[in-house]
Structure formats: structure tokens, C-alpha cells
Amino acid sequence: MRRVREILPGFAAALSLVLAFSTPARGSTPKEDPFSGCSSPAGNFAVTIGFDATNNVPTVSASKNTSCVIKGNTVAFRTDSSANITSWDVKFPTTTPIFTGTCGFGSLNTGSSQACTVVSNAGQGDYVYVVDVWINGGSTKYTLYPKVIIRDSGKRKRRHAADASAAPKP
């Protein structure tokens, strides 16, 4: 018991350090969340990136899509012409390919718009992406974490038919 009391404070301190350093890294990285659902019919998703100078935060026209985005649809970004944005950048999770190989998301863009096409094998999920916006001639960076919901467009198997065939015969 005495040994446990000696080890416990050191273990608690180490665990606190691990949690303190892991939380910001996890929160600042693009990620894929479980699929939350979207409505049909499927369609393209366009996002306008702006900047709220009163509160010093970047903005997006929609924090997530309501109509499903599936293979062949596009996800497009454009900047609000009235916002004082020097440059912007969008990063998606890289664990699963989401867009065609010619898509330039993830690199610095000083242009006003960009669109990418969803690949045919994109995994179904809520893709939390990172929007970085630079203002003041590129000297100040702000970040936002909205999401795009992508539904796979594969055919669904009927579960009851599979369950019936697996049932024991009398």
C-alpha cells in the first residue's frame, strides 16, 4: 500500500501532462466524425468564407450542409468580396481520400474561389475541416472548424433478407 502511495502522485502528474498536450492537438486537426445524416436529393455544397471584424473570427456561410454530398458532387469555397481577407487555406482529413487527385485544398490560396469533386469511394461521414484566414496583409491568422457531410452512394444491402437466409431451418 505504501508503494502505491509513492507511485500515485507521479502517475497523476504524468497523466495530467499527457492530457494537457494531447487535447489542443486533437482539436486543431481536420478529422472525420461519425455520419450524422443529410437529406436527399444530393447536391453540390458551396461555402462562402468571410471575416467578422467586430469579433475577430472567420465565418462560413453554412457550418455544414443539409443536402447530402455524394460522389461526383463538388464542394466549393469562395471568399466574401467585402471581407478583408489577404489569403485563406482549407484542410481536410487526409486519412481517407475525399476529393479527386487534382484538388488543391490544403494549399494556400490567394484567389477568390476553388472547387473540388468528391471521389467515388469517399467514406461516409462528417468531415470536420480547418479554414485558416489571414488578414492585415497576411500578418494575422484566424482558424475555424466547420464540417461537410458526405454520404456514400453505394447500394445498401437489405438486412432482413440476409438475416432470413441465416436463420436455422426446422
pTM, 2 dp: 0.70
Q: What is the CATH number of the domain that holds 115?
A: 2.60.40
Separation CA 4–CA 24 (nearest Å): 31
Count of the separate structural domains present in the chain: 1
93, 33 contact by CB (below 8 A): no
Has residue 15 been placed in a domain? no
Has residue 2 been placed in a domain? no
Has residue 75 been placed in a domain? yes
Q: Angle 82-141-34 (CA atoms, 0-180°, nearest 5)? A: 95
128: confidence class by pLDDT, cuts 50, 70, 90 = very high
Has residue 165 been placed in a domain? no
Give the structural domain span for 47: 30-150
Q: What is the pLDDT of residues 34-93, one digit of tens each?
A: 999 899 999 999 999 999 989 988 999 988 999 999 999 999 999 998 888 888 988 888
